[in-house]
Amino acid sequence: MLEKIFKLQEHNTNVRTEVSAGIVTFMTMGYILVVQPSFMGAAGMDVGAVTAVTALLAGVFSIVMALYTNRPFAMAAAMGSNAFFSFTMVQGGLATWQQGLGMTFISGIVFFLLTIFGLREVIVKAIPKNVKLAIGAAVGFFIAQVGFKNGNLMSITDGKLELGDLTSPGVMLVVIGLFILVGLMARKIKGAVLISIVLITLIGIPMGITQIPDKFITLPPSIEPIAFKLDIIGSLKLSFFPIMFTFFVGDFFSTLGTVLGVSAKAGFLDENGDLPDINKPFLVDSIATMVGAVLGSTVVTTYIESASGIEAGGRTGLTSVSTGVCFLLALFVTPVVGMIPSEATAPALIIIGLLMISAVKDIDFSEFTEAFPAFATIIFTAFTASLSNGISIGIISYVFVKLVSGKYKELNIGAYVLSVLLLMYFII
């Protein structure tokens, strides 16, 4: 049955590898079960209800993504948009969280319509090939940066990027974890990432970093305090349109960057740097955002940590089914998920970032007008910690450098339209 549904032999994989890869993906993105409730709690939403909704949406839509696309893409509440939602919009007094959910729902509808009418695919094809190739490398730098940040191996002090405190127990555990994972990878041990996360979590117990919970099984809290509380009518104010535009552009290009970057690592892209049937993950993404808003969540999107499962060998939807099942089980074993410290997943993210940076070898650096936009995509993603920033600046710089070099005939109408819209995004 699994062979018929997921075509495992065709993708040169097996059940054991796929399930293991799905667990790895869950472990590297499980932090969302802690971060999302924390962020939304700051916006005045019920923390227990947010935890339950976050696990439920990640579980259900990771499985939906698997069955509809047969890709190893896991889904959950998007990082970035949740911070904007809580700290900029709600705490900044721009809107209530109910109105914010209404805006999220409307963004989901726009995503859905663009996908149905094929406009999202048109936008993807309007993006230059070299920028698409650069996205894979940019994702690598982005993931590595997340690993360094989560593990406190780097810190920003007085505006300067500095090495973390190597004498602190947390950083020491990350360093130990890196040695373990590098050793396992060098010896080509299957399941190296999963093994390292488990080992680091266990080593963290005597170091006082891994906290053993009082109980391991709990009933999920009610979602009633936040479900069906979105205010669609209240979100239709003219003054909210710039906020919704910011939501839309940021999430569109973040999702696009994740899908293309992760697909590049898995070898799913064609010769033009496009993902065949890309509208399928886009469709699931838009529906997940609409349903998420109804239940009380910010944007639900494809997760960049899916790359960890791909590195562990995942190549089909069975990987994301496994991830989805883990999230659904987490509804009842949230304390167990909370045991895994960020220090245990940081080494995995750093090494996965390294492996994804290899996509830079496919970029054409022989022509300056092609090389500079790719460079801009990577650099701005890495230094602003934002895929949407990197891709947007890559597209704008591509149009600019082609115009000033007199090679405007190489531009299509889609590139012009995109660059104008993205300039508006930065101005807003």
Q: Beta partners for 163? A: 154
Q: Beta partners for 79? A: none
Residue 72: pLDDT band (50, 70, 90) is very high
Q: What is the pLDDT of residues 253-287, one digit of tens each?
A: 778 888 888 898 888 988 878 888 999 999 999 99
Q: Where are the domains of the chain?
A: 1-359, 364-427
Neighbouring CB atoms inside 10 A of 26's CB total 30
**pLDDT over 90 percentage in the chain:** 45
Instruction: Report how far residue 348's alpha carbon sits from residue 312's, in angstroms, rounded to the nearest whole number.
Output: 10
pLDDT of residue 157: 67
User: Residue 104's closest CA among 300, 392, 332?
Assistant: 300
Statement: residue 217 has pLDDT above 70: yes
More confident residue, 126 or 228: 228
What does residue 302 show for φ and ψ, rounded to 5 degrees? -70, 135
**Mean pLDDT to the nearest integer, 8-35:** 90
Please tell me the pTM assigned to this model: 0.77
Instruction: Report how far residue 160's alpha carbon sits from residue 93's, in angstroms, rounded to the nearest whole number.
Output: 31
Residue 156: pLDDT band (50, 70, 90) is low
Type of residue at 175: V
Neighbouring CB atoms inside 10 A of 4's CB total 7
Question: How is residue 86 annotated by DSSP?
Answer: I
For 308-360, give the DSSP string.
HHHHTT--SHHHHHHHHHHHHHHTT-HHHHHHS-HHHHHHHHHHHHHHHHGGG
CA angle centred on 160, ends 154 and 165, rounded to 5°: 35
Residue 159: pLDDT band (50, 70, 90) is low
**Mean pLDDT to the nearest integer, 65-81:** 92
**Mean pLDDT to the nearest integer, 142-153:** 83
Instruction: Report how far residue 228's alpha carbon sits from residue 296's, in angstroms, rounded to the nearest whole number.
Output: 7
Using DSSP's 3-state secondary structure scheme, residue 412 falls into coil
Residue 179: pLDDT band (50, 70, 90) is very high
CA angle centred on 356, ends 350 and 359, rounded to 5°: 150
Statement: residue 397 has pLDDT above 90: yes
Instruction: Report how far residue 45's alpha carbon sits from residue 349's, in angstroms, rounded to the nearest whole number.
Output: 30
Statement: residue 19 has pLDDT above 90: yes
Neighbouring CB atoms inside 10 A of 40's CB total 28
State the first-to-last Cα distance of the chain, in angstroms, to the nearest integer. 50
Statement: residue 216 has pLDDT above 70: yes
**Mean pLDDT to the nearest integer, 150-174:** 82
pLDDT of residue 253: 78
**Mean pLDDT to the nearest integer, 346-353:** 84
Statement: residue 158 has pLDDT above 70: no
pLDDT of residue 141: 85
Q: Say if CB 387 and CB 408 are below 8 A apart.
A: no
Type of residue at 162: E
Residue 122 corresponds to which tokens in the numbers above?
A: 């048109």
User: Residue 13's closest CA among 319, 384, 401, 341?
Assistant: 319
Residue 182 corresponds to which tokens in the numbers above?
A: 């590098």
Residue 191 corresponds to which tokens in the numbers above?
A: 């399941």
Question: How is residue 96 annotated by DSSP?
Answer: -
Instruction: Report how far residue 265's alpha carbon sits from residue 140's, in angstroms, rounded to the nearest whole number.
Output: 10
Q: Say if CB 306 and CB 25 are below 8 A apart.
A: yes
User: Residue 396's closest CA among 366, 378, 379, 421?
Assistant: 421
Using DSSP's 3-state secondary structure scheme, residue 300 falls into strand
Residue 50: pLDDT band (50, 70, 90) is very high
pLDDT of residue 171: 92
User: Residue 68's closest CA among 336, 315, 277?
Assistant: 277
pLDDT of residue 96: 95
Alpha-carbon Rg for the chain, nearest whole angstrom, is 21
What does residue 221 show for φ and ψ, rounded to 5 degrees? -70, 160
Average pLDDT of the chain? 88
Instruction: Give the helix, strand, coil percentages of the chain, each rounded to 5.
Output: 70, 5, 30
Residue 335: pLDDT band (50, 70, 90) is confident
Residue 233 corresponds to which tokens in the numbers above?
A: 């009518």
**Mean pLDDT to the nearest integer, 98-125:** 90
- In 152-267, where does DSSP find H-type helix? 169-186, 192-203, 241-266
